[in-house]
Structure 1
Amino acid sequence: MLNLLLVWLVTTISFLIVSRLPIGIEIDSFGKAAISAAVFGVLNAILRPILVVLTLPFILLSFGLFLFVLNASIFGLAAAVVPGFSLRWGFWSALIGSIALTIVNSILWAILGTEV
Protein backbone atom coordinates (compact mmCIF):
# COMPACT_ATOMS: atom_id res chain seq x y z
CA MET A 1 0.00 0.00 0.00
CA LEU A 2 2.84 2.37 0.85
CA ASN A 3 4.45 1.57 -2.51
CA LEU A 4 1.25 2.56 -4.34
CA LEU A 5 1.10 5.88 -2.48
CA LEU A 6 4.74 6.58 -3.33
CA VAL A 7 4.13 5.91 -7.03
CA TRP A 8 1.07 8.17 -6.92
CA LEU A 9 3.00 10.97 -5.22
CA VAL A 10 5.91 10.78 -7.68
CA THR A 11 3.50 10.77 -10.63
CA THR A 12 1.66 13.76 -9.14
CA ILE A 13 4.90 15.70 -8.85
CA SER A 14 5.77 14.66 -12.41
CA PHE A 15 2.42 16.03 -13.62
CA LEU A 16 3.14 19.33 -11.85
CA ILE A 17 6.61 19.58 -13.40
CA VAL A 18 5.27 18.76 -16.88
CA SER A 19 2.54 21.39 -16.50
CA ARG A 20 5.24 24.02 -15.92
CA LEU A 21 6.99 23.20 -19.20
CA PRO A 22 5.94 25.20 -22.30
CA ILE A 23 4.33 22.23 -24.08
CA GLY A 24 0.65 23.07 -23.75
CA ILE A 25 -0.25 21.12 -20.59
CA GLU A 26 -2.25 23.09 -18.03
CA ILE A 27 -3.04 21.82 -14.53
CA ASP A 28 -4.70 24.18 -12.06
CA SER A 29 -3.42 22.96 -8.69
CA PHE A 30 -1.71 20.20 -6.72
CA GLY A 31 -5.11 18.61 -6.08
CA LYS A 32 -5.90 18.49 -9.78
CA ALA A 33 -2.46 17.00 -10.45
CA ALA A 34 -3.12 14.31 -7.83
CA ILE A 35 -6.49 13.48 -9.39
CA SER A 36 -4.90 13.50 -12.86
CA ALA A 37 -2.19 11.10 -11.72
CA ALA A 38 -4.78 8.74 -10.23
CA VAL A 39 -7.00 8.84 -13.33
CA PHE A 40 -3.98 8.38 -15.63
CA GLY A 41 -2.86 5.38 -13.57
CA VAL A 42 -6.29 3.76 -13.60
CA LEU A 43 -6.71 4.33 -17.34
CA ASN A 44 -3.24 2.89 -17.95
CA ALA A 45 -4.07 -0.17 -15.86
CA ILE A 46 -7.44 -0.82 -17.50
CA LEU A 47 -7.32 0.50 -21.07
CA ARG A 48 -3.69 0.08 -22.07
CA PRO A 49 -3.65 -3.77 -22.16
CA ILE A 50 -6.87 -3.82 -24.18
CA LEU A 51 -5.61 -1.20 -26.63
CA VAL A 52 -2.26 -2.94 -27.02
CA VAL A 53 -3.99 -6.16 -28.00
CA LEU A 54 -6.37 -4.40 -30.39
CA THR A 55 -3.62 -2.41 -32.10
CA LEU A 56 -0.93 -5.10 -32.10
CA PRO A 57 -0.55 -5.11 -35.92
CA PHE A 58 0.12 -1.35 -35.92
CA ILE A 59 2.58 -1.72 -33.06
CA LEU A 60 4.46 -4.45 -34.91
CA LEU A 61 4.46 -2.58 -38.23
CA SER A 62 5.77 0.59 -36.58
CA PHE A 63 8.37 -1.30 -34.52
CA GLY A 64 6.67 -0.17 -31.30
CA LEU A 65 6.35 3.52 -32.14
CA PHE A 66 2.56 3.25 -32.13
CA LEU A 67 2.81 2.80 -28.36
CA PHE A 68 3.55 6.55 -28.18
CA VAL A 69 0.19 7.18 -29.85
CA LEU A 70 -1.55 4.87 -27.37
CA ASN A 71 0.09 6.60 -24.43
CA ALA A 72 -0.87 10.02 -25.83
CA SER A 73 -4.46 8.83 -26.28
CA ILE A 74 -4.66 7.73 -22.66
CA PHE A 75 -3.04 11.02 -21.58
CA GLY A 76 -5.62 12.96 -23.61
CA LEU A 77 -8.47 10.88 -22.21
CA ALA A 78 -7.28 11.66 -18.68
CA ALA A 79 -7.25 15.36 -19.60
CA ALA A 80 -10.79 15.08 -20.93
CA VAL A 81 -12.05 13.39 -17.76
CA VAL A 82 -10.38 15.61 -15.13
CA PRO A 83 -11.60 19.21 -14.87
CA GLY A 84 -8.68 21.57 -14.40
CA PHE A 85 -6.36 19.44 -16.58
CA SER A 86 -6.34 20.68 -20.15
CA LEU A 87 -4.35 20.34 -23.34
CA ARG A 88 -3.79 23.59 -25.21
CA TRP A 89 -2.95 22.00 -28.59
CA GLY A 90 -4.96 18.79 -28.42
CA PHE A 91 -3.27 15.58 -29.54
CA TRP A 92 0.15 17.19 -29.99
CA SER A 93 0.14 18.42 -26.40
CA ALA A 94 -0.88 14.93 -25.31
CA LEU A 95 1.92 13.32 -27.33
CA ILE A 96 4.62 15.68 -26.12
CA GLY A 97 3.18 15.66 -22.59
CA SER A 98 3.15 11.87 -22.34
CA ILE A 99 6.79 11.71 -23.49
CA ALA A 100 7.75 14.48 -21.05
CA LEU A 101 5.88 12.73 -18.24
CA THR A 102 7.81 9.53 -18.90
CA ILE A 103 11.14 11.37 -18.87
CA VAL A 104 10.38 13.39 -15.72
CA ASN A 105 9.04 10.28 -13.95
CA SER A 106 12.23 8.38 -14.83
CA ILE A 107 14.42 11.22 -13.56
CA LEU A 108 12.50 11.43 -10.27
CA TRP A 109 12.78 7.67 -9.72
CA ALA A 110 16.51 7.84 -10.46
CA ILE A 111 16.89 10.64 -7.90
CA LEU A 112 14.92 8.67 -5.29
CA GLY A 113 17.02 5.61 -6.01
CA THR A 114 14.18 3.21 -5.33
CA GLU A 115 12.78 0.60 -7.64
CA VAL A 116 9.07 0.08 -8.07
Structure 2
Amino acid sequence: MAISGFFPNSLYVASVGVAAVAALVLGVLNWLVRPILIILSLPINFLTLGLFGIVINGLMLELTSVIIGNSFEFSSFWMAMGVAILMSLVSTIIAQYFRRPE
Protein backbone atom coordinates (compact mmCIF):
# COMPACT_ATOMS: atom_id res chain seq x y z
CA MET A 1 0.00 0.00 0.00
CA ALA A 2 2.85 2.37 0.83
CA ILE A 3 4.60 1.71 -2.48
CA SER A 4 1.40 2.51 -4.38
CA GLY A 5 1.45 5.96 -2.77
CA PHE A 6 4.83 6.68 -4.38
CA PHE A 7 3.62 5.65 -7.87
CA PRO A 8 -0.03 6.71 -8.11
CA ASN A 9 -0.12 6.58 -11.93
CA SER A 10 1.68 3.24 -12.24
CA LEU A 11 0.31 1.11 -9.42
CA TYR A 12 -3.35 1.11 -8.41
CA VAL A 13 -4.54 -0.38 -5.12
CA ALA A 14 -8.21 0.32 -4.41
CA SER A 15 -8.15 0.04 -0.60
CA VAL A 16 -6.35 -1.33 2.42
CA GLY A 17 -8.57 -4.41 2.28
CA VAL A 18 -7.53 -5.07 -1.31
CA ALA A 19 -3.89 -4.66 -0.27
CA ALA A 20 -4.39 -7.24 2.51
CA VAL A 21 -6.02 -9.70 0.10
CA ALA A 22 -3.23 -9.09 -2.43
CA ALA A 23 -0.63 -9.78 0.28
CA LEU A 24 -2.39 -13.04 1.12
CA VAL A 25 -2.61 -14.07 -2.54
CA LEU A 26 1.06 -13.15 -3.09
CA GLY A 27 2.04 -15.23 -0.06
CA VAL A 28 0.15 -18.26 -1.35
CA LEU A 29 1.65 -17.85 -4.85
CA ASN A 30 5.14 -17.53 -3.38
CA TRP A 31 4.49 -20.70 -1.41
CA LEU A 32 3.03 -22.79 -4.26
CA VAL A 33 4.15 -21.43 -7.65
CA ARG A 34 7.47 -19.68 -7.01
CA PRO A 35 9.44 -22.84 -6.07
CA ILE A 36 8.37 -24.47 -9.34
CA LEU A 37 9.43 -21.41 -11.34
CA ILE A 38 12.78 -21.28 -9.55
CA ILE A 39 13.50 -24.93 -10.35
CA LEU A 40 12.46 -24.50 -13.98
CA SER A 41 14.62 -21.38 -14.35
CA LEU A 42 17.77 -22.72 -12.68
CA PRO A 43 19.91 -22.57 -15.84
CA ILE A 44 19.08 -18.94 -16.63
CA ASN A 45 19.27 -18.05 -12.93
CA PHE A 46 22.76 -19.55 -12.83
CA LEU A 47 23.83 -17.63 -15.94
CA THR A 48 22.56 -14.32 -14.56
CA LEU A 49 24.06 -14.97 -11.11
CA GLY A 50 20.63 -14.97 -9.49
CA LEU A 51 19.35 -11.73 -11.02
CA PHE A 52 16.61 -13.62 -12.85
CA GLY A 53 15.00 -13.96 -9.43
CA ILE A 54 13.86 -10.34 -9.80
CA VAL A 55 11.98 -11.31 -12.95
CA ILE A 56 10.34 -14.19 -11.07
CA ASN A 57 9.30 -11.78 -8.30
CA GLY A 58 7.84 -9.45 -10.93
CA LEU A 59 5.95 -12.37 -12.45
CA MET A 60 4.51 -13.25 -9.04
CA LEU A 61 3.28 -9.67 -8.61
CA GLU A 62 1.75 -9.67 -12.10
CA LEU A 63 0.04 -13.00 -11.40
CA THR A 64 -1.32 -11.54 -8.16
CA SER A 65 -2.66 -8.60 -10.17
CA VAL A 66 -4.40 -10.97 -12.60
CA ILE A 67 -5.99 -12.94 -9.75
CA ILE A 68 -7.14 -9.87 -7.78
CA GLY A 69 -8.50 -8.02 -10.83
CA ASN A 70 -9.10 -4.33 -11.41
CA SER A 71 -8.64 -3.41 -7.74
CA PHE A 72 -4.89 -4.16 -7.91
CA GLU A 73 -3.14 -3.23 -11.15
CA PHE A 74 0.29 -2.38 -12.53
CA SER A 75 0.71 -0.11 -15.53
CA SER A 76 3.34 -2.44 -17.02
CA PHE A 77 5.47 -5.48 -16.30
CA TRP A 78 8.45 -3.16 -15.76
CA MET A 79 6.57 -1.42 -12.98
CA ALA A 80 5.90 -4.81 -11.38
CA MET A 81 9.62 -5.55 -11.53
CA GLY A 82 10.40 -2.15 -10.00
CA VAL A 83 7.97 -2.82 -7.16
CA ALA A 84 9.56 -6.26 -6.70
CA ILE A 85 12.97 -4.62 -6.34
CA LEU A 86 11.62 -2.06 -3.85
CA MET A 87 9.89 -4.78 -1.83
CA SER A 88 13.12 -6.78 -1.70
CA LEU A 89 15.12 -3.76 -0.53
CA VAL A 90 12.59 -2.86 2.17
CA SER A 91 12.42 -6.48 3.31
CA THR A 92 16.22 -6.66 3.57
CA ILE A 93 16.40 -3.40 5.54
CA ILE A 94 13.69 -4.53 7.96
CA ALA A 95 15.31 -7.95 8.40
CA GLN A 96 18.67 -6.32 9.18
CA TYR A 97 17.07 -3.93 11.65
CA PHE A 98 15.38 -6.71 13.63
CA ARG A 99 18.31 -9.12 13.40
CA ARG A 100 19.44 -10.43 16.76
CA PRO A 101 23.00 -9.53 17.72
CA GLU A 102 25.35 -12.47 17.77
- After TM superposition, the score normalised by the length of structure 2 is 0.85
Match of 2:52 among 41, 66, 88: 66
Structure 1 match to 2:6 = 21
Equivalent-residue separation in structure 2 for 1:101 and 1:109 (angstroms): 12
The count of residues paired between Structure 1 and Structure 2 equals 98
Structure 2 match to 1:57 = 43
Q: Is the 8 A contact 1:27 1:86 kept in 2?
A: yes
- Structure 2 unmatched runs, 5+: none
Cα shift at 1:78: 0.3
Identity %: 33
- After TM superposition, the score normalised by the length of structure 1 is 0.76
Match of 2:74 among 78, 87, 97: 87
Equivalent-residue separation in structure 1 for 2:60 and 2:36 (angstroms): 12
The AA in structure 1 aligned to 2:3 is V
Q: Is the 8 A contact 1:72 1:94 kept in 2?
A: yes
- Structure 1 unmatched runs, 5+: 1-15
Q: Is the 8 A contact 1:18 1:104 kept in 2?
A: no
